[in-house]
Amino acid sequence: MKDGKHITLAFESSCDETSVAVLADGREVLSNIIASQIDVHKVFGGVVPEIASRHHLENVNPVLDEALQEAGITLDDVDLIGVTCGPGLVGALLIGVCAAKAVALAANKPLVGVHHIRGHISANYITHKDLEPPFLSLVVSGGHTHIVEVTDYNHCTVLGRTRDDAAGEAFDKVARVLGLGYPGGPLIDKIAKEGDPNAIEFKRVMLEKESLDFSFSGTKTGVLNYLNIARQRGEEINVADVAASFQKTVMDVIVTKAMLAAERTGHKKLALAGGVASNSQLRSMLQEACDKRGITLYCPPPILCTDNAAMIGCAAYYKAKAGLMDDLSLDANPNLPLEG
Ligand code: KG4
Ligand code: ZN
């Protein structure tokens, strides 16, 4: 406890960000330190798992020290330790889990393992102090695209998910073939503003009527084919038009499915989450669609959309509140299921 408030110390290392955060009473961020490895992986055009693990190992102690210092606390003040235990890259997850367990053992503190996606959804609790379940959540990140019904703080039902690429993965791959760099999402978002979203018609994959699942690989292949044909013909490629048309196609599908889910479940609250939730076009299209239907849209700021430990600390707080504790046998699970 610090100043009468419950203190959570949280770790996140599922992909290429090493992050440690300190939260007061579950929703107030006292520190949220993020060491990004983007520059390290940029040269490879994507995250190299083995390299990511090594950098997590190097970063985790200095990031922990900085998080404690910025929050103005010591380990004695900590009431709970939370850590992402899956899904993600197994070697990367293991560093965070081992660090959290080591601190829990050394400082004799309770431990809770957190599902990474539950963390992303919880970023909304930090941003919107009035938000409480039940609500609908759209989780769009580099590794996941899910429509989730959040029934209470610790339970949710997956209504739809991608059957192939995640939205962010498709953005990253298309950006790579366009020669834009890595990570591709923010770069496509930026250059798309200068392009015509109706210039090129890419495949808009809706799957079976009424299905809330997604498929982005057909759209991605459509872009690759378009570029190959244009290059073979020696035609000039307007990168901004390709980016704008691709982005519009993907966001059209995401917004349509999210609204279908809202209609079907009757929820009037929609919480956006995950790295792709930073996308400016997705935010404006969803806002417009929600306004038309009287749905309140909740969005975290970009720093809480991409991977960070604050969101994990918030999810850990609500798990602990419900008595869902772990012990030192906690292990990393790269395929941890979301439901249950
Ligand atoms: O949530 P996140 O940090 O990692 C995972 O859990 O996967 O999401 C990273 C993903 C990357 O694919 C990145 O390209 C994408 O989020 N992203 C964006 C934007 N900012 C990040 N995609 C589209 N538009 C953006 N502005
Ligand atoms: Zn993530």
Tell me the pLDDT tens digit for each residue of 109-165: 999 999 999 999 999 999 999 999 999 999 999 999 999 999 999 999 999 999 999
pLDDT of residue 4 exceeding 70, the answer is yes
Q: How far apart are CA 48 and CA 288, in angstroms?
A: 38
Alpha-carbon torsion angle 94, 100, 106, 112, nearest 10: -120
Give me the helices (H) in 47-183, please: 49-71, 90-107, 116-127, 167-177
- Rounded to the nearest 5 percent, the helix, strand and coil shares of the chain are 45, 20, 35
Number of the ligand closest to the Cα of 283: 1
Strands 17-24 and 28-36: antiparallel
Q: Which of 38, 118, 171, 281 to mutate to test the pocket of ligand 1 (most atoms within 8 A of CB)?
A: 171
pLDDT band at 339 (very low <50, low <70, confident <90, very high): confident
- The two tokens of residue 103 are 């601190």
pLDDT at 340: 66
The CA 185 to ligand 1 mean position distance, Å, reads 6
pLDDT in tens, 36-95: 988 888 888 888 999 999 999 999 999 999 999 999 999 999 999 999 999 999 999 999
Q: Which of 306, 308, 311 to mutate to test the pocket of ligand 1 (most atoms within 8 A of CB)?
A: 306
Output the furthest CA–CA distance in the chain (Å, rounded). 69
Angle between helices 49-71 and 90-107 (to 10 degrees): 30
pLDDT at 180: 94
Residues with CB under 6 A from ligand 1: 15, 141-143, 168, 171-172, 183-186, 189, 274-276, 278-279, 306-307
* pLDDT cut 90: percent of the chain above it: 94
The CA 274 to ligand 1 mean position distance, Å, reads 7
- Name, in order, each residue with C-beta under 8 angstroms of 76's C-beta and a sequence gap of 6 or more: 107
pLDDT band at 3 (very low <50, low <70, confident <90, very high): very high
pLDDT band at 254 (very low <50, low <70, confident <90, very high): very high
pLDDT band at 209 (very low <50, low <70, confident <90, very high): confident
- Name, in order, each residue with C-beta under 8 angstroms of 91's C-beta and a sequence gap of 6 or more: 49, 50, 52, 53
Ligand 1 atom 16: the closest Cα is on which residue?
A: 275
Q: In this structure, which amino acid lies at residue 162?
A: T
Task: Please compute the mean of the pLDDT values over residues 305-316 and round it to a whole number.
Answer: 98
The CA 306 to ligand 1 mean position distance, Å, reads 6
- The two tokens of residue 304 are 């809480």
Look up the pTM and report it.
0.96
- The two tokens of residue 200 are 């090129």
Neighbours of ion ligand 2 (CB under 5 A): 141, 307
Task: Please compute the mean of the pLDDT values over residues 15-36 and round it to a whole number.
Answer: 97
3-state DSSP assignment of residue 48: coil
- The two tokens of residue 92 are 């990367």
